[in-house]
């Protein structure tokens, strides 16, 4: 099962959003064929894949048939059911493996794993019933953030709280299921490190990226991150440790809070390429998606060297509220790269694409990219 999978082979993807699309583009550029499975059709990934199979992740017979038709399988988001990954793994190697999915798709399991591995995390406590709320507050302190244990992303399924009353209201709002209470961190910045690990244990990391969020959704990413060399080195070493402890083969993003005191706390893990790493497509020798292809197929990893400072800004569905954005206005700026995901419906808060800019500094690149996004709204 650890053989090298050579170009010309078929790679399967579970999930069909924009991450799968960019993976499929990288894979096809390297000579691989791509099959994708998801409950939808005419998807961002399916539009560029060789074969698109529309079926439920719970249709395990269809999943098994899909797995028999490919040489290796990866996933483009972590909410694929573990049972789906386990059935697929009977017929083709799944990278990262199902146990990585199991750990990272539940915030309590993820934070407990990291804490027990001796890695720095935000202080947290489990909230499994309304009766446990007060005990969790006593352990964690206030202010804090209550989050659903599963299925949250882009700020969904979480509420900031400053009192017991707010915590009880948040519990009700989140549906009263398993939750996690995390101490609110007054951070100096948010960073991410996109790391990759091959079948033979080879490790490579992109340098840290600074992330700026708006309404809990990533808005701007800048690289280089502009942090002290010690913090950058610590972030890379922590990301490597996570990869080894979790036994990841593939790409994983580690998101950090950099505290006012200059320490790092791991906020979240994403066992796949990450929104913040999209700038690597234009700014680096090999992007995060090529690295994913190489790791999944057992090829040597490529260079993570950055060729030029860069920034990325997200394009959300809100930009379509007054009609089609003015693409020609943004593209009139010569240093702007436009990436659209092929989604059929624009909705507020939905990631529809991104812009990347290269410049002499990351700050200058961010300024250019933000100006290009401003121009998308027709005057």
Q: Residue 187 in contact with residue 127, Cβ under 8 Å?
A: no
Does residue 102 register a pLDDT over 90? yes
The percent of residues above 70 in pLDDT, for the chain, comes to 98
> Do the domain assignments include residue 102?
no
Q: Where are the beta strands (DSSP E) in 104-186?
A: 124-127, 144-148, 158-161, 179-183
Residues 47, 52, 57, 60: what is their CA dihedral angle, to the nearest 10 degrees?
-170
Q: pLDDT-based confidence at 294, cuts 50/70/90?
A: very high
Question: Looking at residue 60, which CATH number applies to its domain?
Answer: 3.40.50.20
Specify if 72 maps to a domain.
yes
Task: For residue 370, give Cα distances in angstroms to 209, 274, 281, 366, 367.
Answer: 17, 20, 18, 6, 5
In the prediction, which pLDDT does 156 show? 66
C-alpha closest to that of 132 among 174, 164, 84, 173: 164
Boundary (domain end) residue, out of 136, 158, 183 = 183
Ranges 3-12, 66-75, 165-174, 215-224: which has the least confidence: 165-174
Q: What is the mean pLDDT of residues 299-315?
A: 98
Regarding whether 53 and 151 lie in a shared domain, the answer is no
**Of 211, 236, 207, 234, the residue nearest 222 (C-alpha):** 211
Question: How many structural domains is the chain composed of?
Answer: 3
At 347, list the tokens.
């909705």
- Write out pLDDT tens, residues 240-249: 999 999 999 9
pTM of the model: 0.95
In this model, does residue 376 exceed pLDDT 60?
Answer: yes
Angle between helices 18-29 and 288-297 (to 10 degrees): 70
Does residue 294 share a domain with residue 357? yes
- Among candidates 68, 61, 69, which has minimal Cα distance to 90? 68
From the list 376, 325, 342, the residue with the least C-alpha distance to 21 is 342
Are both 205 and 303 inside the same structural domain? yes
pLDDT-based confidence at 78, cuts 50/70/90? Answer: confident
Q: Is residue 289 part of a domain?
A: yes
Both 319 and 236 in one domain: the answer is yes
Residues 213 and 260 both lie in one domain:
yes
Q: Quick one: which of 14, 364, 20, 21 has its CA closest to 224?
A: 364
Q: How far apart are CA 28 and CA 30, in angstroms?
A: 5
pLDDT surpasses 90 at 72: yes
Q: Long-range contacts for 346-350 (Cβ within 8 Å, ≥24 apart)?
A: 346/317, 346/319, 346/320, 347/317, 348/316, 348/317, 348/318, 348/321, 349/154, 349/215, 349/217, 349/316, 349/317, 349/318, 350/316, 350/317
Residue 265, in any domain of the structure: yes
Between strands 144-148 and 158-161, the pairing is antiparallel
Pair 289, 302 in one domain: yes
In a domain, 3, yes or no: no
Q: How far apart are CA 250 and CA 202, in angstroms?
A: 10
Helix or strand holding residue 168 (H, E): helix 164-173
Evaluate the CA torsion angle 14, 15, 16, 17 in order and state its sign: negative
pLDDT in tens, 153-164: 555 678 999 999
Let me know: does 58 contact 81? Beta carbons within 8 Å: yes
Asked if residue 263 is part of any domain, the answer here is yes
The predicted-structure confidence for 321-365, as pLDDT tens digits, reads as follows: 999 999 999 999 999 999 999 999 999 999 999 999 999 999 999
244 and 283 share one domain:
yes
> How confident is the prediction for the chain on average, in pLDDT?
95
Same domain (yes/no): 200, 339: yes
The pLDDT value recorded for residue 353 is: 98
Q: Are residues 207 and 334 in the same domain?
A: yes
What value does the mean pLDDT take over residues 98-122?
Answer: 96
Query: Whole-angstrom Cα distance, residue 222 to residue 274?
Result: 14
In a shared domain, residues 369 and 336: yes
* Residue 353, beta-bridge partner list: 315, 340
C-alpha separations of 104 from 2, 10, 16, 54, 82 in Å = 24, 26, 19, 25, 11
Which range among 48-62, 149-163, 286-300, 351-365 shows the weakest confidence by mean pLDDT?
149-163
Per the domain annotation, does 131 fall within a domain?
yes
Q: Which of 183, 198, 225 is the last residue of a domain?
A: 183
CA distance 12 to 34: 6
Q: What is the CATH number of the domain that holds 153?
A: 3.30.1490.20
Residue 101 lies in a domain: no
Mean pLDDT calculated for residue range 200-215 = 97
DSSP lists the bridge partners of residue 313 as 220, 355
At residue 152 the predicted structure's pLDDT band, cuts being 50, 70 and 90, is: low
Does residue 228 register a pLDDT over 70? yes
Describe the chain by its helix, strand, coil percentages, rounded to 5.
35, 30, 40
Q: Mean per-residue pLDDT for 222-249?
A: 98
Same domain, 175 and 90: no
Domain span at residue 304?
Answer: 187-375
* pLDDT above 90 for 84: yes
Pair 32, 169 in one domain: no
Looking at 183, 201, 227, which one is the last position of a domain?
A: 183
176 pLDDT more than 80: no
Provide the β-strand partners of residue 11: 34, 72
């Amino acid at each position: 099962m650890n053989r090298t999978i050579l170009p010309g082979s078929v790679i399967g993807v579970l999930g069909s959003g924009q991450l799968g699309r960019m993976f499929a583009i990288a894979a096809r550029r390297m000579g691989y064929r791509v099959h994708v499975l998801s409950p939808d059709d005419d998807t961002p990934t399916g539009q560029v894949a060789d074969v698109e199979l529309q079926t439920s992740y719970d249709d395990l017979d269809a999943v098994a048939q899909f797995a028999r038709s490919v040489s290796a399988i990866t996933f483009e988001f972590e909410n694929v059911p573990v049972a789906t990954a386990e059935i697929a793994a009977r017929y083709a190697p799944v990278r990262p493996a199902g146990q990585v999915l199991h750990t990272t798709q539940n915030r309590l399991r993820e934070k407990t794993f990291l804490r027990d591995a001796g890695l720095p995390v935000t202080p947290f406590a489990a909230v499994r019933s309304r009766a446990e709320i007060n005990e969790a507050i006593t352990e964690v302190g206030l202010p804090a953030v209550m989050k659903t244990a599963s299925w949250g992303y882009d700020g969904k399924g979480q509420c900031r709280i400053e009192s017991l009353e707010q915590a009880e209201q948040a519990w009700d709002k989140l549906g009263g299921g398993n939750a996690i209470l995390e101490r609110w961190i007054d951070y100096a910045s948010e960073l991410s490190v996109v790391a990759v690990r091959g079948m033979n244990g080879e490790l490579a990391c992109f340098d840290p990226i600074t992330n700026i969020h708006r309404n809990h959704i990533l808005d701007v990413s800048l690289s280089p991150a502009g942090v002290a060399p010690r913090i950058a080195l610590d972030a890379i070493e922590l990301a490597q440790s996570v990869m080894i402890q979790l036994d990841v083969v593939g790409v994983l993003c580690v998101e950090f809070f950099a505290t006012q005191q200059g320490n790092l706390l791991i906020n979240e893990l994403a066992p796949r390429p990450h929104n913040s790493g999209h700038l690597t497509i234009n700014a680096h020798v090999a992007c995060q998606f090529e690295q994913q292809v190489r790791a999944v197929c057992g090829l040597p990893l490529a260079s993570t060297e950055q060729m030029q400072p860069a920034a990325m800004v997200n394009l959300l569905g809100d930009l379509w509220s007054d009609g089609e954005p003015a693409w020609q206005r943004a593209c009139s700026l010569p240093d702007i790269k436009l990436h659209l995901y092929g989604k059929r419906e624009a909705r507020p808060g939905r990631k529809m694409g991104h812009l990347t800019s290269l410049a002499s500094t990351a700050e200058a690149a961010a300024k250019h990219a933000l100006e290009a996004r401003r121009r998308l709204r027709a005057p």
